[in-house]
Amino acid sequence: MADETSILLIDDDDRCRHDLETVLSFLGETAVSASSNNWHARVTDAIEKPSAVSVVLIGNCDFLALDDLLAVIHQWEAGTPFILLGDQAIPDFLDAELRTRITASLTTPLCYQPLLDALHKAKLFHENYNRLRDFDGVRDFNMFRSLVGNSGAIQRVRQVMGQVADTEVSVLITGESGTGKEVVARNLHLNSSRADKPFVPINCGAIPSELLESELFGHEKGSFTGAISTRAGRFELADGGTLFLDEIGDMPLSMQVKLLRVLQERSFERVGGVKTIHTDVRILAATHNDLEQMIERGEFRQDLYYRINVFPIEMPSLRERAEDIPLLLNELITIMEAAKRGSVRFNSGAIASLCRHPWPGNVRELANLVERMAILYPHGIVGINDLPKKFRYLSDQEVSHLQDTERLVNLGDSLAVPENIGQSLLPLNGLDLKEYLANLEKDLIGQALDDSGGVVARAADRLHIRRTTLVEKMRKYSLQKKHPVEADNNAGDHAVSG
């Protein structure tokens, strides 16, 4: 029995199941295939424990109703996500928890990139579930989808989020602007016991200091010029839920004193009011500033710092996790397409160059670039020379090498980036593997024959195959014989051309 995770493939059509097995094998995935009426026997023979099934792909379902199949698999292993294939409609009466396990629905015939995206999303769901299954109260195991990436830095963020999500402690999220601090805060709220209560954000640096107190605590009618009516503040609006204090480092010292009092006493009065209002909120705060240095300079209160910094989460900059850029591009483009704001693709040269950019604006800067390229090259393929000048980092030699590689395999429209820029890539919409390999083999045979002066025996030596094998392949590909060039030990050898 294998210890690694496997994909459970269920399809009641033998031919479709075989084709899907071939596709998954080509992608390097380990698959256990079965029909809807024998999946349990097949999978228990092939794996050691249910949690080893990372995702279930469900195609034609003739022997068992889809909702019944989903329910019985979910009962067998609650953390298994599902990907539906074909035109299957999700039953309207399907249990809400089961719906959250359906991470993707793909139309057939399958295309490479959507399938790869769906598998990645499902595996992320599965990994999060297994890591968090011992944490009571975690509700949405898809919570980390917006924190895209496989780098060690982002995986550590996801891990600590899982540990603190369903607690009541205050969290301080630090990191440069554009790294996704609010994304972390929203996900922490959604996976807390307060998820059904409001999540109320406020940017402490975007509101004038004279208005910030009113925004936080509300005001009574007539309490100041312009207060034409009574208004509830953010603390009241967030009652029972979560208050997210973004850029708390920009909060004036006078307001820090008042905020500390509210956090300590869990009560406040509106501006111009005398009635004490009790509040029940969880505080999540974020800043791009170094608060400890601000404390030394007397710009931030130390007692408030310790009140909000019970559990720190530090967001890595994008330059610290450049290997995540291909996945981030993929996610940003998917979001843009889903919102019908256009589409664009980046070839390997462009992506390799983007991986070298320092990204001072982090993910926000990357998102802006994707939007700009989608406007300039709608539904097109962006190459390195199409990028704004400041994003071009490859030398002419590196660009030429990439272009030669892409021209050889016709993979210029790929979105995925390799571990090194010379590695072959799959095209976005996939390829016919059999046809591609046949054409490649035919071309290599032609090159070997040309290099060998048309002598079959020498060409076979160059290809490290037997002469008889080469002759069979020449016959298979209908390679036309030309005039003989020279005789060798095999009198039947003739010059041929691919």
User: From CA 495, how far away is CA 498, in angstroms rounded?
Assistant: 10
Task: Determine how β-strand 6-10 pairs with β-strand 53-58.
Answer: parallel
> Where does the pLDDT of residue 87 fall: very low under 50, low under 70, confident under 90, or very high at 90 and above?
confident
Burial of 288 (0-12, 13-18, 19+ CB in 10 A): middle
pLDDT score recorded for residue 282: 95
* 484 band by pLDDT with thresholds 50, 70 and 90: very low
pLDDT digits (tens, 9 = 90+) for 127-138: 767 765 554 444
Helices (H), 379-455: 396-409, 433-451
Q: Which residue would you say has higher pLDDT here, 405 or 285?
A: 285
Q: How far apart are CA 338 and CA 127, in angstroms?
A: 25
Cα 190 from Cα 198, distance rounded (Å): 10
Amino acid at 346: F
Each residue's pLDDT tens digit, 461-479: 878 888 888 888 888 887 7
Residue carrying structure tokens 């071939």: 22
- Residues above pLDDT 70, as percent of the chain: 84
What fold characterizes domain 319-409?
Answer: Helicase, Ruva Protein; domain 3 (1.10.8)
Q: What is the pLDDT of residue 402?
A: 57
CA dist., res. 328 & res. 460, Å (int): 46
Residue 418 has what pLDDT? 37
- pLDDT above 90 (res 56): yes
One CATH from 3.20.20.100, 1.20.140.10, 3.40.50.2300, 3.40.50.300 for 6-132? 3.40.50.2300
Report residue 68: phi and psi, to 5°.
-70, -40
283 pLDDT higher than 60: yes
Which of the residue ranges 122-131, 357-366, 441-450 has the most confident prediction, judged by mean pLDDT?
357-366
Residue pair 216/233 in contact (Cβ under 8 Å)? The answer is yes
- Per the document, the length of the chain is 498
pLDDT at 416: 36
Using pLDDT thresholds of 50, 70 and 90, give the confidence band for residue 419. very low
Asked if the model's pLDDT at residue 421 lies above 50, the reply is no
Confidence band of 398 (pLDDT split at 50, 70, 90) = low
What's the chain's average pLDDT? 81
User: Is a pLDDT exceeding 70 seen at residue 140?
Assistant: no
Between residues 117 and 269, the one the model is more confident about: 269
Query: Would the CATH topology of 319-409 be identical to that of 432-498?
Result: no
Mean pLDDT of 425-437: 58
Q: What is the band of 173 on the pLDDT scale with cuts at 50, 70, 90?
A: very high
> Does the pLDDT value for residue 210 go beyond 70?
yes
Instruction: Give per-residue burial for 457-483: e unless 16+ CB within 10 Å, then b.
Output: bbbbeebeeebeebbebbeebebeeee
SS3 state at 240 = coil
CATH number among 2.60.40.1290, 3.90.1150.10, 3.40.50.300, 3.40.50.2300, domain 155-314: 3.40.50.300
Cβ atoms of 170 and 310 closer than 8 Å: yes
State percent of the chain over pLDDT 90.
32
The fold for domain 432-498 equals Arc Repressor Mutant, subunit A (1.10.10)
Angle at 286 between CA 359 and CA 175, to 5 degrees: 30
Every domain of the chain and the residues it spans: 6-132, 155-314, 319-409, 432-498
For 193-205, how does the pLDDT look when each residue is reduced to its tens digit (9 = 90+)?
Answer: 898 899 999 999 8
Range scoring the smallest mean pLDDT among 15-24, 75-84, 295-304, 419-428: 419-428
**Mean pLDDT (whole number) for 328-335:** 84
184 vs 161: CA distance, rounded Å: 8
Helix (H) or strand (E) holding 354: helix 348-354
Look at the block and give the residue holding tokens 């294998």: 2
Tokens of 183: 């994304």
Question: 401 pLDDT band (50/70/90 cuts)?
Answer: low
Give me the pLDDT at residue 371, please: 93
Give yes or no for residue 41 having a pLDDT over 80. yes
pLDDT for 290 equals 94
pLDDT at 30 over 90: no
